Structure formats: structure tokens, C-alpha cells
Structure 1
């Protein structure tokens, strides 16, 4: 049996293109005693050629005619280059490196495959004795062997291309489904983290992203922005959602008690420790530990917390054995931790450990357009809690709130809405008069100001001047609160009975 036919049967049994190329070139190189035998394969985008051998880090552009490969691709005809003719192909460094072993009687042969086809799929690169290469390509059995390789290569590459297409399709569908799921989770957050402003949309996206990781999350934001809601959301959307969410405010617990709260203690550890107590770190095993206002944690405890984060082990106060806890840490602060690090008030190593995934909660002044939605949300919460049917806020009340500088952020807004709802009859809208006196400073501003006399020197009757000024103030307040004497009296800091007496005395009638 012809040897090339035997080798051809070996090719048919291969199922991977890379293995096929290696077997083919190794067989040809061995049987023809070649110096070099390579298969040059087009890249996925078809713009370059690369060797089938991964150890050769070379690449050639299919349109670079300073290299003979581009000429063979264009003409679909073989090219043979002697040692003398290689001097004309010195501009391509990789090609020069590939042909540096060519001897006096050798030839570089570049053969387009399949043979005698207009469409070139690969290039066969050979370096060997010139006469020997000329004879073997005149051998019909060798040419049939090359044809078998070309057919098997086309079949396997088509199969691989289809498999890659299926993988890409599955990955694309997975990406679409993942994006859809992330959008669903993001939308679900809008029920608790209310708002459609750009900062809130970004915040919800960050929460979903953080929840999908196991990184420590640091939540930054001013007081009243809703940091604990964000922490709870990170937990609820994570893989630990069915495990405990344990929260503690580091600023609310005295320094000498914080350690025992976190780590727990053993019986007899100190006076009053009559039994073992499990700490919050142990309680958070499998779930999430939320440390609010972590910037207030003492330095000594910071060092112990860092060790727990690195080893997942801790020792209760007075305990003899270490315990393990697998928890996800979420922390929050309203202070500038980096500034505290610079002042040596916070450990730098713990700072970087906490800030694996930072999230910043926007102030209410950064999301003024959300005030209407937030207000309606708080009205609904009030209705659900008190069994009322408050219809919402009057547009003037919304406009008034948008002008206020909410130092207390969303928490302050919530309290204002609750107060306004409490001042509103069931079935009615909350009016601006229900809370206006609570959001403006005591020193009267624009809305409450009453013009004073241009000059005190023009006053000739002090008693009458005081009565006139007092009358103007009361009339303005009554007009502001639509004649509601109770609200007007409250805004002036006097009893309703006193206001009624003054109205009678000054002959002031409700507007």
C-alpha cells in the first residue's frame, strides 16, 4: 500500500483542526526531510495569517505585499524562492526570521491550499532541498494526500466555526438574559429606593452589580440619605439573601461594649458575664454584617476587624478557642474616611479592605426632581400605616419643598410629609400651609417678612406703631394659612387663644 494513502487514513480519524494541522505538517516534514513545514492559517476576521504552531508568535497581514504570502493569496499560485531571490524579501522581519535557515541548495515553497483552487483556505510553507520538493509535488499520490488534508481541514474548520457560532449565540442569549435580570432587579429596587433621577438610576445599577459580587461594600453618604436601605438591598439581591442580615451602628454603642457586641463573650469574661453570648459576627455567619458609621470604630477594634476579614476567624472576649464565620461585610459612613486615614484616626490597611466596592448615596439636593415621587411614596406609607386616604401633595407644596435645603436629606423629607399628612383632613391634599413653618428658619424670610417702618424717627406714637406692626404680621400669617388660626398661632409660637384675643383686639377678621 502506498505510504501517502496510509497517512491519509490517519488524517481522516482526526477531529480537531489543530491536531490535524500538526499531524499533517509533522508527517510531510518527516517524510520529505524538510527543514521547516508550517501551515499558515487565516485569523478569525480573515485579515491576518498566523502559523498553526502556537510557539511561533508571528503574524502577517493578508494585504502586505512586502511579504510573498500576500502575492500567493491573491494569485492562488505557488511560489518558489531560492536563496538568491530572498534578498528581494527583506523588508518583513518575521519573514526574514522564518527563512534564515535556507541553504544554498534549498528553496522556500509557498503552496496555496486546496491545490488548484481559486479560493485559498490555507498556505503551506516549506523549506527543503529544491529538486526534492519539485519532484514530490509532481507525485500524484502526494497530491492526493494533500487533497485529503484540505478536505478534512475544510470539514473540521466548518464544524468548529459552527460550534463557535453556537457558543457565541448561547453567550449572547445569556448576556441578554443577564441584562434582563439585572434590569428586573434594578426596577424592583425602585419600590424602596424611590426616584427616577440619573443619580438614583446609577445607584440602583451599582447595588445590583455589588450584590452579584463577594466584595466588601462601603456605602458613603450624608446623614438621612438612606445608607441602611442600600445595605439591605445589597443583601437582599445577593446569594446570601436567605441568610441573616445583621446590622449595628458603631457610633451608638459605647467603646467598651462594642467589642463584646461584635465578637461575643464567654461566661466569666468580665463582671456580669453569667453565660456565653454569641456576637454579631457569629450571628452573621452565612449572611451579611452591616457596620453603620464604621468611621467611629476605635483603632483597637479596627485591627481586630481587619484580622477577621482576612482570616474569617475570631475569638470571643474571654474565649480560649477561635471560631469561624463566613459573612459578607457591608459598611457605611458619613465622614471622610480618607481624611481620617491621613489624620491617623483610621487604619489605612482596613480602609483599602473596606473599599473593595464603594457606593455613594446622593444627597436629596442632587436629586431634586425625585421629591415629587418621594413625597407620594411617603404619603402612601402614611396612609397604609394610619388607614387614611390622603390624596397626595398639592403642586404648590411640591414646589415649596423643591426650594428647601434638606440638610437631613430623605429622612427630613419623610418627617415633613408625615407631619403634613397629620395636619391634613382625610381625602384632601397636603397643602403648603401644613408644613411651611417647619422648613423656614425662625428669623422671618421672604414669605413671612413684614415691611418695617422706613425709619424709627418717624414714629410719634410707639404703642400705635407696635399694634400696627403686630397687626400686619398676624394678617400675613392668616392669609398664608388661609384663615386657619391654629396653624397661624403655631407658626408664631403663641397659643390659639392668644391669637384669637389679639384678632379681636386688633379687629382682624379672617381673610
Structure 2
């Protein structure tokens, strides 16, 4: 029986548990001329025994004592079943199918295979000639063969588990490193996309995520929210950062010129085409093409753009050959493109091609808490550009700004801050009275409107008319600020003492 030792050397050369079990079972079946030979292993959850033959597609519960597998697994002792004893194991249907071919000279044996020193984790099940099975399983060299198999499988399982642990550790470290890099990029992005609101934090995270992908990005948002800044950030934090960022506003270029701007043209393509012109699609090769206000692109040009996006091939106007351009598309719009699709003014297929990664830039009124940070940012830029030393915005100015209805969003805030800085001397703060007539909410501006006389011809006493007009303005302003004379005076651009004098003279009492 020295051949079992030869077979054992074959087992040692195997490096995959499933292949090891397959070779072990085939060798035993061949040498013993068995009808059936199965190795059954405990499942990962320890509840079932699973055969090494995946094609068998059967399992046995470890607590089903109507099957001898459960008994051997629990006791750790082998069990040999003669053909006459099969009558006691008829309740387990799957086990009966394994033994239905047994003859009167056959026997079945269930042998425990400890793959570790702690517990039985597998069993060997064979069906064949009773005498041959008995002689083989009492042979010492076969016992050593089983031990080699069990130890080799235990080693392979441990190696597999170690490899799995190491792989998980590497993936965890990679995740940590990737998250750290992402946080660093988000922090860096906060220098240009300023704001501490949750809406801006989420937007910056989405931008970094979008930058790392190869999808077309659609930036949506109202006018003045900073859509081009978002597009630039997507480019700057992408693998294409070292390549060109090419931007064009589709609404700012006449329809008949937009195609030549995008695709370029060849000499002689039309009257006035004296030389070849490089289009923006060609300029953006390897980089990013930003199409602002893409909702204003003509339908005919939309079809051509869709083909370029699908094939990355384009043909200049008047050209006979197609050229390749590997660019990443970022587009933006302040209109509802879905409505335009329903109205047949925007192609549906292009719509879905553009919206692979949609981003929504929040309105300024939806992130009021960012106004102070944004204002400080714009003051710093103003000082740098103009060589001034404006200290910033007075807290009352910030409060007034937070009450304003910013229809122009961040762009409007920037212009207001610049306007305030232009009226402020160095080392001084921007005061509210320099902006108050421009930053009142729309509904409050309506309250301040003073009706003029229907006709100048009805005025018979100019002095009295002026007093009435002045009185009406002061009364409305005091009502707006709930009687606060300091705020009313600042909004009118006069000292508080002057306002008090006028109130006394005109017999105006606070509401």
C-alpha cells in the first residue's frame, strides 16, 4: 500500500482547496473501485455539510440525525453501514439516493476528516465493496494519506484566510488613503467655492467625485450661482488638469457662428474663410470642454454634438476628413432642460447623454449662512486687485445683506461688496448706509416707494409740498425699521441727530 504515500506527494503540490478535494476523492474512488466517493465540508455558517462536487447541488443539515453524517460529525467516530443496515436510514431522502445502488456485498462508510486539531470539519463518504473498504480504512498508510489531505487542506484554508485578511487590510488602507486625499481636495476646493453651509459641503464632495469619473457632467443652477467655477473645479481636480479647459457660452454667440466656433472650418469653406480655423472641440483635446447655457444651442447643432460625444470624431466646416478629439464634456444651464425636451426644443437623446452626472448649485438664499464668508472673500480679492486695505463688512452690513433677496445670487453679492468697498476708505469697514438703497428686499422696497403728485400743476405751496413729501418718506422709513431711528437715519444717509430734528420739526412720532 506504499502507493498511498506516492499519492500523498501529489496532494502536497496542490495550492487550491477545491482542486485538492477533487484529487483526493478521485484517487480514493479509483483505488478502491468505489461506486460513490464524496468529501463533505462544513459550510461557512457551520449549519450544513456541502459536498465537494458542486454539480451534486445537495446539502445536509448538521442537526439532521436521520442521516449518519450528523452522527459522525458530532461523535468524531467513523460509521460503517452494511446493505442490511440501510433499512434504518430510509427517512433521509437525499442519503437514500446516495446508497440506492448498493448490493448485498457493498457497504457504506462515513469517516471523520479533522482538518484541524480542534474539531471535525469534514467527512468522507464512500460506497463500494465491503471487504475492500474495511481493509483500506484499517490500513496505516491510507490513514496517513487521509492525514496528509486534512493537514494540506487546513494549511490551504489558513493561507486563503490570511490572504483574504491581507487583501482586506490593503483595501482598508487604500480606502483610508483615498478618503484622506478626497478630504484634502475638498478642503482645497473650499478656497474657491467658499461656504460652510451643508449645501456647499455636499456640492464640494460631489465635485470631487465627479472629477474622478469620466462621465459627462451637467451643472444646473440659477444665473450667478457660480456654475463656471464648478466646471473649472471639475477640470482642476480631474486627471485632465494639466490639459486645456475650453469654455464657451452658447447663448452669447449667434447661431450661425456657434458651429464654426465649436468645429472650426477649413480654408474656402465659405466667403471670408481665408485660412483654416481651429475649433474649440479640437482645442479641448485631452482636456475639458465646457458648454455654458447649452439649453440655447440650436437643434441642428445638438444633433452634431451628440454624434461627437458618441464617437469622439468631428469634421470641420468644409472639411473632407474626420478628426479625433478626446475631451471631457461639462455643460451648464439655468433653464429646465426637461421642459425643453417636452416642448421639442431640446433633443431627448442628448439630454440623457449630458445628464450622466448632474450637479445642482444652490441659490444664495438657500445658504444665507455663507454670506459673511463670501463677503470676506470678495473684500480680500478687492483689496488685492486695487491695492486697498478695506477691513471688511460691518456686522450691521452683514445683517442687512442676509435680509436681501439675492436674485442675482453670488454674482450680485460680489458686485455689492465691490460697490461698498469702493465707497470705503482704507482701514475702515463697509457700512450699511453705503448699500442700504441697493440691498433691501423687494417687498420692503415697495414699502419705501412714495407716491408723487399726479401733476406738478396741483402744487400751490412748494414749501409745504416738500415738507409733506419729506414727512412721508421719514414716516415710511421709521415704520420699516419699527421705529429704530438709528437704522432709519443710516438708511437715509443722514446723522441720527438730523433725523431727530426733522421728526420734531415735522411733528413725527415713532410708530
Common fold: TM-score over 0.5? yes
1:246 aligns with 2:249: no
Further displaced range: 218-227 or 426-435: 426-435
CA distance in 1, matches of 2:229, 2:319: 34
* 1:61-113 deviation digits (Å, cap 9, x = unpaired): 656767665554333333456643443224xxxx4697376545555544321
Give structure 1 stretches of 5+ with no counterpart. 453-459, 490-498
The match for 1:7 is: 7
User: Which SS does the other structure have where 1:317 is aligned?
Assistant: coil
Question: Offset at 1:233?
Answer: 0.9
Question: Offset at 1:52?
Answer: 3.4
1:87 aligns with 2:90: yes
User: Which SS does the other structure have where 2:172 is aligned?
Assistant: helix
User: Which SS does the other structure have where 2:329 is aligned?
Assistant: strand
The match for 1:457 is: none
Q: TM-score, normalised by structure 2?
A: 0.85
1:386 aligns with 2:392: no
The match for 1:423 is: 423
CA distance in 1, matches of 2:358, 2:227: 12
CA distance in 2, matches of 1:165, 1:443: 64
Aligned residues: 483
Counterparts in 2 of 1:300 and 1:114: CA distance versus 1, 3 Å: same
1:152 aligns with 2:152: yes
1:347 aligns with 2:350: no
The answer to whether the 8 Å contact 1:250/1:292 transfers is yes
The answer to whether the 8 Å contact 1:390/1:430 transfers is yes
1:99 aligns with 2:102: no
The answer to whether the 8 Å contact 1:36/1:128 transfers is yes
Structure 1 residues 433-448: aligned runs within 5 Å: 433-440=433-440, 445=445, 448=448
* 1:198-217 deviation digits (Å, cap 9, x = unpaired): 11111111111111111111
Further displaced range: 337-346 or 255-264: 337-346
CA distance in 1, matches of 2:334, 2:64: 60
Over aligned residues, Cα RMSD in angstroms?
Answer: 3.4
Question: Offset at 1:284?
Answer: 0.7
Counterparts in 2 of 1:30 and 1:232: CA distance versus 1, 3 Å: same
The match for 1:411 is: 411
* 1:204-250 deviation digits (Å, cap 9, x = unpaired): 11111111111111111111111111111111111111011111111
The match for 1:363 is: 363
1:121 aligns with 2:124: no
Question: Offset at 1:349?
Answer: 1.1
CA distance in 2, matches of 1:157, 1:128: 30
The match for 1:299 is: 299
User: Which SS does the other structure have where 2:241 is aligned?
Assistant: coil
Further displaced range: 309-318 or 397-406: 397-406
Structure 1 residues 216-231: aligned runs within 5 Å: 216-231=216-231
Structure 1 residues 483-502: aligned runs within 5 Å: 487=493
User: Which SS does the other structure have where 2:330 is aligned?
Assistant: strand
The match for 2:164 is: 164
The answer to whether the 8 Å contact 1:4/1:145 transfers is yes
Counterparts in 2 of 1:73 and 1:331: CA distance versus 1, 3 Å: farther
The match for 1:374 is: 374
The answer to whether the 8 Å contact 2:244/2:283 transfers is yes
* 1:242-278 deviation digits (Å, cap 9, x = unpaired): 0111111111111111111111100000111001111
Question: Offset at 1:122?
Answer: 2.6
The match for 1:183 is: 183
Counterparts in 2 of 1:87 and 1:396: CA distance versus 1, 3 Å: farther
Give structure 2 stretches of 5+ with no counterpart. 453-459, 479-484
CA distance in 2, matches of 1:293, 1:222: 11
CA distance in 2, matches of 1:376, 1:197: 15
User: Which SS does the other structure have where 2:350 is aligned?
Assistant: helix
The answer to whether the 8 Å contact 1:218/1:330 transfers is yes
Question: Offset at 1:39?
Answer: 2.8
CA distance in 2, matches of 1:318, 1:173: 55
The answer to whether the 8 Å contact 1:289/1:330 transfers is yes
* 1:178-199 deviation digits (Å, cap 9, x = unpaired): 1111111111111111112111
The answer to whether the 8 Å contact 1:41/1:122 transfers is yes
CA distance in 2, matches of 1:481, 1:122: 89
The match for 1:455 is: none
Question: Offset at 1:126?
Answer: 3.2
User: Which SS does the other structure have where 1:88 is aligned?
Assistant: coil
Q: TM-score, normalised by structure 1?
A: 0.85
Counterparts in 2 of 1:347 and 1:63: CA distance versus 1, 3 Å: farther
CA distance in 1, matches of 2:64, 2:374: 63
Counterparts in 2 of 1:218 and 1:38: CA distance versus 1, 3 Å: farther
Question: Offset at 1:50?
Answer: 3.6
